[in-house]
Amino acid sequence: MAAQQGAKLVLAARNEAALRQLVEEVQNKGGQAIYVTADVGIEEDVNRIADAAIVEFGGFDTWVNNAGISIFSRCMDVSIPDMKRMFDTNFWGVVYGSRAAVNHFRQRGSSGALINVGSFLGDRAVAVQSTYSASKHALHGWTDALRMELEADELPISVTLIHPGRIDTPYNEHARSYMPKQPAHRGMIYPSEAVAEAILYAAEHPKRDMFVGFQAKILAVIGALAPRLTDKLMEIWAFPSQQSDRPSRDREDNALYRAGYGMHERGTHQGWIRSGSLYVKAVKHPAITAMAIAGIGVTIWLLTTSVVQSY
């Protein structure tokens, strides 16, 4: 989607074969892209990504921290090494990427966009994904603190935090599972294109936050306003809604410590998979959204008035 809009891309992941295929696809469609085989949990690898962009394209104006991995397990069952490994990717990868981007923008003396992909579980923790929730809470905290410091220094760098809801990617298949059933989302699920749409919008329009899916926004609001009620709802909902009907894959068959399979856009989830996110579109078109809400309000008022008069 970025290439279709004319962006020059530097793609990074651990899976070189997948990167090579993706770059070829972009180039065959007339786009410009290169790749860097890298593990974002290693600071030197992240710096190589920035260096490659500078060498190939003379620099960059947008940096997206999007790498993520999960562990499905009860809190007390996850091993400490597994927890640390996840934080290498989900938290430290974002720190390394943010620092590389900000340093480049400062040295170049121009504006730039830093986009960190968090999660609705970074706003509200959930059972079964304790380590993932903790890593995303840390990511959210880092992003907020960095944004304030850059604004205080009056640097023209926009820092956006993306809050995706449940997204239809192979995230569940790449995760390490301690659970008897294979991890999967159940319920309302949004396509990966909705997240991409939010990211690309934030690249051109400075936004503090972008929520992908109404479920992400409402969970953040309810979790803040009624935390104990949210606890109780989570205790009922979290366990069945994050496991499928089939047995879990072997605990070693995952992408926590090594690259997983690549080039799959969809996961193996069970539920209502939406075609997009109306919430993202509403944020992109606030004036139209405000007019629509006002129109709905007027309609409700007129209908109510008519009913009262008829009665």
* pLDDT tens-digit readout, 166-209: 999 999 999 999 999 999 999 889 999 999 999 999 999 999 99
Say yes or no to pLDDT of 271 above 90: no
Does position 302 have pLDDT exceeding 70, yes or no? no
If 0-12 CB within 10 Å is exposed, 13-18 middle and 19+ buried, where does residue 238 land? middle
Please state whether beta strands 8-13 and 32-37 pair in parallel, antiparallel, or not at all (unpaired). parallel
Residue 122 has pLDDT above 90, yes or no: yes
Q: Any idea what the Cα angle at residue 269 is, between residues 264 and 274, rounded to 5°? A: 90
Q: Using the predicted structure, report yes or no on whether residue 296 has a pLDDT greater than 90.
A: no
In whole angstroms, give the CA distance from residue 267 to residue 247: 16
Return the pLDDT at 270. 86
pLDDT-derived band at 292, boundaries 50, 70, 90:
very low
Task: Give the DSSP H/E element, type plus range, for residue 59.
Answer: none
**pLDDT over 80 at 301, yes or no:** no
User: Which pLDDT score is estimated for 294?
Assistant: 42
At residue 222, what are phi and psi to the nearest 5 degrees?
Answer: -65, -40
| Residues 61-276, CATH architecture | 3-Layer(aba) Sandwich (3.40)
Q: Is the pLDDT of residue 283 over 90?
A: no
Mean pLDDT comparison of 108-117, 210-219, 273-282, highest-scoring range: 108-117
Distance between CA atoms of residues 71 and 82, nearest Å:
8
The 10 Å CB-count burial string (b at 16+, else e) for 41-55 is: beeebbbbbbebbee
Q: Residue 216 in 3-state DSSP?
A: helix
Statement: residue 241 has pLDDT above 80: yes
Mean pLDDT for the chain?
91
**Bridge partners of 36?**
12
Averaged pLDDT, 131-136? 98
Residue 282 clears pLDDT 90, i.e. is over it: no
Lowest mean pLDDT among 4-8, 21-25, 268-272, 303-307: 303-307
Residue 288 above 70 pLDDT? no
Residue 92 has pLDDT above 60, yes or no: yes
pLDDT value for 280: 85
The residues carrying an active-site annotation are 132
Query: Can you give the pLDDT at residue 215?
Result: 85
Percent of the chain scoring above 70 in pLDDT? 92
How far is the C-alpha of 251 from the C-alpha of 102, rounded, in Å? 37
Residue 29: alpha-carbon gap to chain centroid:
26
Tell me what percent of the chain is helix, strand and coil, each rounded to the nearest 5: 55, 20, 30
pLDDT in tens, 46-57: 999 999 999 999
| Predicted pLDDT at 28 | 97
Picking from 133, 121, 128, 116, the residue whose alpha carbon sits closest to that of residue 40 is 116
Unique residue bearing structure tokens 């999660």: 119
| Contact partners, residue 193, CB within 8 Å, separation at least 6 | 1, 276
pLDDT of residue 261: 93
288 membership: H or E segment, kind and range: helix 286-310
Angle made by CA atoms 298, 299, 302, in degrees to the nearest 5: 85
Question: What pLDDT score was predicted for residue 293?
Answer: 40
Banded model confidence at residue 300, pLDDT cuts 50, 70, 90: very low
Over 50: is that where the pLDDT of 307 sits?
no
